[in-house]
């Protein structure tokens, strides 16, 4: 399922690179969601990206961490695991935008694209599942423990969202991460015991 999501996202994004009308139709616009009732934008914005690098980075991260989460869910819930993985991804897409929706529902000029919120949900679900993992962050030459990366990432996203000085969706990153943590704890509370047990030895 992870590969299907990656393939579908890549396909739609590449088509949208060449079709401005399609990009405009799918991107997140809080004003149009509220005033034109285009609620589908809560979902479709995650399938279009601002450029090749944006797409490649998101899909590479999803490819790197999605398999961990999908395999865990499939091992614990059988065929329902794939359904849970889809629910996690969709929840990340939707809930990561709610704060920005509330803030910008009357701002017709606010737009957002990219799967970053959903990808953050997957990454943070994987951190809880496998806290002993490591993450490489360019240009740091050594691996960072995944749990430490999680803490630093949340702090950084919260700080940058408050500053609001760039065009990166830090708010979506932060809330997507929260969605990933909450979701995996809801469907498999035992993950928490494994996470704590990792630190207690």
Closest CA to 133 of 118, 149, 145, 148: 145
From CA 3, how far away is CA 139, in angstroms rounded? 27
> Do 59 and 131 form a contact (C-beta atoms < 8 A)?
no
- The first and second tokens of residue 8, run together, are 């579908």
Q: Considering only the top CATH level, what class is 2-200?
A: mainly alpha
Radius of gyration from C-alpha coordinates of the chain: 17
Q: How confident is the model at residue 187 (pLDDT cuts 50, 70, 90)?
A: very high
Q: How confident is the model at residue 143 (pLDDT cuts 50, 70, 90)?
A: confident
Q: How confident is the model at residue 167 (pLDDT cuts 50, 70, 90)?
A: low
Which SS3 state, helix, strand or coil, does residue 134 take?
Answer: strand
Q: What pLDDT is stored for residue 166 in this prediction? A: 57
- What ranges in the chain are assigned the alpha helix state H? 2-17, 20-26, 30-35, 41-44, 52-77, 80-95, 98-104, 116-129, 146-163, 170-187, 190-200
Q: Rounded mean pLDDT of 81-93?
A: 97
Q: How confident is the model at residue 34 (pLDDT cuts 50, 70, 90)?
A: very high
The verdict on whether omega for the bond into residue 76 sits within 30 degrees of 0, i.e. cis, is no
Q: In the chain, at which residue ranges do the beta strands (DSSP E only) sit?
A: 134-135, 144-145
Query: Residue 189: pLDDT above 60?
Result: yes
For 53-63, letters b (16+ CB in 10 Å) and e give: ebbeebbebbe
């Amino acid at each position: 399922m992870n590969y299907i999501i990656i393939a579908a996202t890549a396909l739609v994004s590449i088509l949208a690179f060449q079709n401005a009308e399609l990009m405009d139709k799918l991107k997140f616009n809080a004003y149009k969601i509220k005033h034109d009732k285009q609620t589908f934008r809560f979902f479709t914005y995650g399938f279009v990206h601002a450029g090749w690098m944006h797409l490649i980075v998101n899909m590479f991260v999803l490819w790197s961490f999605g398999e961990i989460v999908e395999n865990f869910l499939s091992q614990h819930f059988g065929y329902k695991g794939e359904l849970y993985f889809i629910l996690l991804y969709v929840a990340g897409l939707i809930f990561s935008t709610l704060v920005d929706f509330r803030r910008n529902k009357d701002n017709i000029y606010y737009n957002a694209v990219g799967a970053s919120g959903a990808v953050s949900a997957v990454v943070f679900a994987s951190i809880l599942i496998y806290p002993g993992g490591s993450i490489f962050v360019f240009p740091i030459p050594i691996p960072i423990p995944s749990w430490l990366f999680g803490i630093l990432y949340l702090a950084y996203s919260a700080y940058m969202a408050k500053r609001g000085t760039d065009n990166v969706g830090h708010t979506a990153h932060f809330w997507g991460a929260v969605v990933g943590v909450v979701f995996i704890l809801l469907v498999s509370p035992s993950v928490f015991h494994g996470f704590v047990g990792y630190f207690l030895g």
